[in-house]
Amino acid sequence: MDATTDVNPYADDFVQASEYLRLALSLLTKHQIPPSPFNYRLGYDAVAGRNEPLRTVFAQLVEQSDGSSEENLWHLYRQMFIQDDAALQAMRQELRHIITDLHGQFETSGHSLSSYRSALNRFAEILDAPYTPAALAVEVDKVIEDTRVTEQVQQQLGQQLSNMADEIAYLRNELEQVRQESLTDALTGVLNRKAFDAALEQAVQGAWETKSPFCVLLADIDHFKQFNDTHGHLIGDKVLRFVASTLKRSLKGRDLVARFGGEEFAVILPRTNLAGAHTVAEQIRQGVSSGRLMNKSTNETYGRVTISLGMAQFRMNDSPNSLLARADQALYLAKDRGRNRVERLA
C-alpha cells in the first residue's frame, strides 16, 4: 500500500470484493483473530495478494505462539498502512501553505508592477506635455517614489522566494527521511522486507542486462523461539539486533542486508559467485556464534547464539521468487543437517 498515492487501492468489483471478504474472515477466524477494522484490512490485503510483503509477514506472524496478539497485529498495521501517512499529510499541508503564500506574493507583485507600468506611461505622457520645470520636478519625484516602492516589493518577493526555496528543500529532506524510515526495520535498523523485495528485483534485472553473477543468502537464527520463551521478548529483541549488527559488519560495498521476517534475514551480494558468497556466509556464521550476550547488571550469560544460512547464485532464467526458493531450500538443508552451518544451491 503506497501512502503517497491518491488512487483508490480497493477498486474491486462486488463479486471480487465479496470473495475477498469471505477469505479474509475465514483467515481471521482460523487464527482466532478478532475481525476489527484494522485486522480485517490486514486480512483483506493478505488474501487479495496485492501486498506481497504484508502477506508474507502476516503469515509468519500468525504462526508464532503469540504472533496474533493485538500488539503485534497493530504494529504490523502501522508498519504497512499508517507509518508514513501523518508525516506525508503534514508535508502536503505545509506545501499547500507555501503555494498559497506564493500566490499572494505574485498577486501583490503583479499589482505593484501594473501600477508602476501605469505610472511610467503617465510620466511618458507628461514628458510630451508643456509642464513647467517645477511641475515636472514633482512628477519626477513621484516616479522615483513609485520606483522605490516597486523595488521594495520585488525585493520582498525575491526574499520570499528564497525563503520558500529553503522551506521546500527542508521538506524534501523530511520526505527523504520518511522514505528511508519506510524502508527500514524499526527494531534492527537494517532494511525491511519491502526494501529487500525492491532491491532483489533491481539485482535480477541488472544481472539479466550485464550477465554478471550475484548471490542471495537467507539466514535464520537457530532455536529462536526457544530462546524467546526462555529469556523473554526483550532479550529476543537484543538477539535480533545483535545478529543484524553482525551481518552489517560482515558486509561491505554494495552488499545489502534486510530483515526478511521474524528471526530471518536476507542478504544480496552483487557481483559475487558461490565461492565468494560462501566465504561471506562463513564469516557471518562465525561472527554470530563467537559472540556472547550478557546481562550487564548481573553478568548473566544468555547463552550462545547461532544461525543457519542458505545460499543460491542467480541463473539467467531466474525470477526473484525462484532464486529465493533455492536459497530457502539451502537454508532448510542447513537446519536439517544440524544448524549453525552454511549450505548452498547453485
8 Å CB contact between 279 and 271: no
If asked whether residues 210 and 224 sit together in one domain, one would say yes
Q: Which of 82, 116, 140 is the last residue of a domain?
A: 82
List, in sequence order, every residue forming a beta bridge with 300; answer none if it has no partner: 295
CATH number, domain of 284, equals 3.30.70.270
Edge-first strand order for the sheet with 256-261 is 256-261, 264-270, 214-221, 307-313, 342-345
Mean pLDDT of the chain, nearest integer: 80
Q: Which cell goes with 229?
A: 520463551
pLDDT tens profile 180-222? 667 788 889 899 988 899 899 999 999 998 889 999 999 999 9
How far apart (Å, rounded) are the C-alpha atoms in residues 126 and 148?
Answer: 20
Dist CA 291 CA 305 (whole Å):
7
In 3D space, the residue among 166, 39, 150 whose CA is nearest the CA of residue 94 turns out to be 166
Question: Minimal CA–CA distance to 313: which of 334, 344, 267?
Answer: 344
Domain count, the chain: 3
Show which residues are catalytic.
263
Say if residue 199 is in the same domain as residue 265: yes
77/89 same-domain check:
no
Alpha carbons 230 and 234: distance in angstroms, whole number: 11
Same domain membership, residue 126 and residue 38: no
Local confidence pLDDT in tens for the 346 residues of the chain = 444 444 566 777 787 888 888 888 888 888 888 888 888 888 888 888 767 777 777 887 777 655 556 777 877 776 676 555 556 666 666 666 656 665 565 566 666 667 767 766 766 676 666 766 676 667 667 777 777 777 777 777 667 666 666 666 666 666 666 666 677 888 898 999 888 998 999 999 999 988 899 999 999 999 988 888 888 888 888 899 999 999 999 998 899 999 998 899 999 999 999 999 999 999 999 999 998 877 777 777 778 899 999 999 999 999 999 999 999 999 999 999 999 999 997 6
Pair 44, 24: CB distance under 8 Å: yes
Pairing of strands 342-345, 307-313: parallel
Q: Do 67 and 176 have their domain in common? A: no
Give this prediction's pTM.
0.56
Q: How many angstroms separate the CA atoms of 192 and 257, rounded?
A: 9
Range of the domain at 160: 85-182
Domain presence at residue 1: no
My answer on whether 127 and 243 are in the same domain is: no
